[in-house]
């Protein structure tokens, strides 16, 4: 990709981020500390879309920088995609919260909030024009595929996303971190399968990028350490 094109897209994204910063369509727009627009390579081949910013993201104004973000970085590294090469954002740009005993706690975005924020997400997809979208978690999947989407039954296959972009759904890293006992191995295996499918899809289109080595077992084992 030409560097001038990267700069052009970066400029467009910066301008779009200013608009979201000024937006107060939802109540959470008044409650959040920072607007979390998104970050990454403006020419990324892969766009990762999560549900919404959490507490750390709200504090820092960056997506996926808490514990779940660290796991996401390892997931991407396992398919040989450095975080800097990916574009990462969420369905909503403001942190959805609910009252908790010791202050506001994270919650999933409401359908109306995702609808309000959808034009911003669509604009990001239009500018970055990724080759593949990876939706993390049920709310992000539902924002693309409708309210009836059931992640446990319907993840792990290809769908058609905005701009006819191939769309894969997998579990949110925060969900993976919450798993305990026997469930965790099954969830890890499913996520690994989904990540491999993303890598394969990217490798199908030229220019050929790095191919997976024969060390998949080792990568899978180290993925969630």
Residue corresponding to tokens 């727009």: 29
Residues 6+ apart with CB under 8 A from 148: none
Burial class (CB in 10 A: 0-12, 13-18, 19+), 190: middle
Nearer CB in complex with ligand SF4: 93/199: 93
Residue 20 is a binding residue for ligand SF4 (CB under 6 A) = yes
* Candidate residues 116, 124, 143, 170; the one interacting with ligand SF4 per rule CB under 6 A: 116
Pairing verdict, β 103-106 and 132-136: unpaired
Secondary structure (3-state) at 88: strand
Stretch that binds ligand SF4, among 17-25, 66-74, 122-130, 160-168 (CB under 6 A): 17-25
**Segment near ligand SF4 (CB under 6 A), from 71-79, 90-98, 149-157, 190-198?**
90-98
The piece of 16-24, 43-51, 146-154, 197-205 that touches ligand SF4 (CB under 6 A) is: 16-24
29 binds ligand SF4 (CB under 6 A): yes
Q: Which is nearer to ligand SF4, 29 or 139 (CB)?
A: 29
Report the C-alpha gap between 209 and 80 in whole angstroms. Answer: 9
| CA 210/CA 225 separation, integer angstroms | 24
33 forms part of the interface with ligand SF4 (CB under 6 A): no
> Of the candidates 46, 72, 81, 94, which one interacts with ligand SF4 according to CB under 6 A?
94
Cβ partners under 8 Å of residue 174, min gap 6: 54, 67, 68, 137
Q: To which H or E segment does residue 37 belong?
A: none
Among positions 113, 124, 136, 199, the unique one binding ligand SF4 when judged by CB under 6 A: 113
Residues 43, 71, 117, 197: which binds ligand SF4 (CB under 6 A)? 117
User: Which residues 6+ apart lie within 8 Å of 55 measured at CB?
Assistant: 66, 95, 104, 106
The nearer residue to ligand SF4, 90 or 170, going by C-beta atoms, is 90
Give contact residues for ligand SF4 (rule: CB under 6 A): 20, 23-26, 28-29, 92-94, 113, 116-117, 120
């Amino acid at each position: 990709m030409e560097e001038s094109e990267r700069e052009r897209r970066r400029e467009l994204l910066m301008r779009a981020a200013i608009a979201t910063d000024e937006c107060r369509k939802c109540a959470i727009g008044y409650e959040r500390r920072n607007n979390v627009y998104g970050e990454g390579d403006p020419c990324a081949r892969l766009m990762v879309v999560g549900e919404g910013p959490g507490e750390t993201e709200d504090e820092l104004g960056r997506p996926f920088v808490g514990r779940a973000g660290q796991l996401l970085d390892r997931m991407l590294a396992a398919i040989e995609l450095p975080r800097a090469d990916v574009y990462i954002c969420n369905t909503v740009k403001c942190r959805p919260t609910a009252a908790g005993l010791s202050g506001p706690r994270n919650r999933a975005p409401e359908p109306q909030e995702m609808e309000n924020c959808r034009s911003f997400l669509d604009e990001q997809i239009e500018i970055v024009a990724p080759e593949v979208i990876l939706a993390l978690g049920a709310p992000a999947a539902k924002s693309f595929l409708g309210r009836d989407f059931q992640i446990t039954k319907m993840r792990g296959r290809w769908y058609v996303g905005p701009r006819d972009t191939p769309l894969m759904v997998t579990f949110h890293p925060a969900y993976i971190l919450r798993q305990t006992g026997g469930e965790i191995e099954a969830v890890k295996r499913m996520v690994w399968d989904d990540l491999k499918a993303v890598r394969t899809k990217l490798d199908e289109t030229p220019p050929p990028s790095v191919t997976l080595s024969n060390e998949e077992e080792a990568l899978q084992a180290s993925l969630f350490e």
